Amino acid sequence: MPRLPALLLVLSAALVGAAIGLLVGDDRAWVTGAGAAAGLLVGAFGAWLLLRRPRRLTGGADAQAVADLPLVAHVPPPGGDEADRRRAEEAFRMLRAALSPVRDGDTPARPVLVTSAAPGEGKTTVAAGLARALARAGRPVVAVEADLRRPGLAAALGRDDAGGAGPSTVGAPLRGLTAAIVGGVPVADLLVEVEPGLRLLPAGELPPNAPELLGGPDARRVLDELLALGVDVVLDTAPLLPVADTRELLARAGDVRVVLVARPGVADRDELRGAAALVPASTAPILVVSGRAKAPRSYDQYLRDGAGV
């Protein structure tokens, strides 16, 4: 919260208190001073209330107001109970619907780039869930582990053993996205089967120059190779604020959709606002919030009643 409004509040309250003291005090200085002091106390208390406004997001509506983006889904954290599992499945269906049609006739699919303002907000969970939801709707999908700093998509999809297609030997370089970008290895040779309709392009060997790789022409070539396979592409990317990787990828990737993930209670309001400002409007960005949230009991009842339909 800016300090200027709080300072103005203190000064205004002090002036009002002094004026009241002057009006009722018959020119007695101590009454005027007491009024000013009381005004200062009231103003200071009001300023304290302003300044203690939480920096963290308080919920989905708060995140939507800060980011000024459409909020399309609220994804509960993984590992919850049966109600959480149902909510998560439905949230990913909502996200899938918000991004449809990713494909328009015979035109190439529009890749979906998933990111967040800072680490720990659930972007990888959202990327994995979206990829599964697209595949279960009968669309061939490739999920790309494009976070070349702290890749986690393979683990989220249950393939944390993935280092690329084919057998590997101890000490051999991991095969994945970086092998396609730097070594020119055909993308089709690097894909790992996750489940019917869903394949993974793992990160591979982590490079020391991730922004340069993702912002270079070879990254665009790899993306074009993926699109030529006739698949929907979901990219799990690095957070926007700590590193330049995703900014470089956005500048090079062309026609993509962006999903910005924020976690209330974790995400900083100013960081979310700053991250949303970095996303080009041409990507038609949408917002997903992650983490625990209270849902109306009627929602859970509706999901439970419809489970067998």
CB 293 within 8 A of CB 265: no
> Using 50, 70 and 90 to split pLDDT, how confident is the model at 2?
very low
Residues in the chain: 309
> Using 50, 70 and 90 to split pLDDT, how confident is the model at 161?
confident
Residue 106: predicted pLDDT: 53
Q: Are residues 129 and 238 in the same domain?
A: yes
* pLDDT tens digits for range 86-128: 889 999 999 999 997 655 555 556 899 999 999 999 999 999 9
Residue 171: predicted pLDDT: 46
Q: Higher confidence at residue 295 or residue 87?
A: 87
* pLDDT tens digits for range 171-227: 445 689 999 999 999 999 999 999 999 999 999 999 999 999 999 999 999 999 999
Cβ neighbors of 239 (< 8 A, separation 6 or more) are 115, 116, 117, 118, 119, 121, 123, 246, 275
Residue 27: predicted pLDDT: 56
pLDDT at 271 over 60: yes
User: What's the angle, vertex CA 234, arms to CA 126 and CA 242, rounded to 5?
Assistant: 65
Residue where a domain terminates, one of 30, 51, 72: 51
- % residues pLDDT > 90 (the chain): 59
Whole domain around residue 131: which residue ranges?
60-305
pLDDT at 131 over 60: yes
Q: Are residues 273 and 295 in the same domain?
A: yes
Domains: count for the chain: 2
Residue 108: predicted pLDDT: 57
Q: Are residues 173 and 266 in the same domain?
A: yes
Q: Are residues 39 and 178 in the same domain?
A: no
> Using 50, 70 and 90 to split pLDDT, how confident is the model at 247?
very high
- Backbone φ and ψ for 231, nearest 5 degrees, come out as -120, 160
**Least confident among 38-42, 172-176, 219-223, 295-299:** 38-42
What's the average model confidence in pLDDT over 166-173? 44
Q: Are residues 178 and 105 in the same domain?
A: yes
CATH of the domain at 133: 3.40.50.300
Distances (CA, A) of 208 to 148, 205, 213: 9, 10, 9
pLDDT at 160 over 90: no
CB 33 within 8 A of CB 63: no
Residue where a domain terminates, one of 12, 32, 51: 51
Q: Are residues 68 and 28 in the same domain?
A: no
> Using 50, 70 and 90 to split pLDDT, how confident is the model at 146?
very high
Q: Are residues 132 and 33 in the same domain?
A: no
Q: Are residues 39 and 169 in the same domain?
A: no
Q: Are residues 42 and 181 in the same domain?
A: no
Q: Are residues 19 and 67 in the same domain?
A: no
> Using 50, 70 and 90 to split pLDDT, how confident is the model at 14?
low
Residue 1: predicted pLDDT: 42
Q: Which two tokens stand for residue 259?
A: 């999903």
Q: Are residues 23 and 140 in the same domain?
A: no
**Least confident among 38-42, 140-144, 272-276:** 38-42
Q: Are residues 32 and 77 in the same domain?
A: no
Residue 305: predicted pLDDT: 62
Q: Which two tokens stand for residue 227?
A: 């699109």
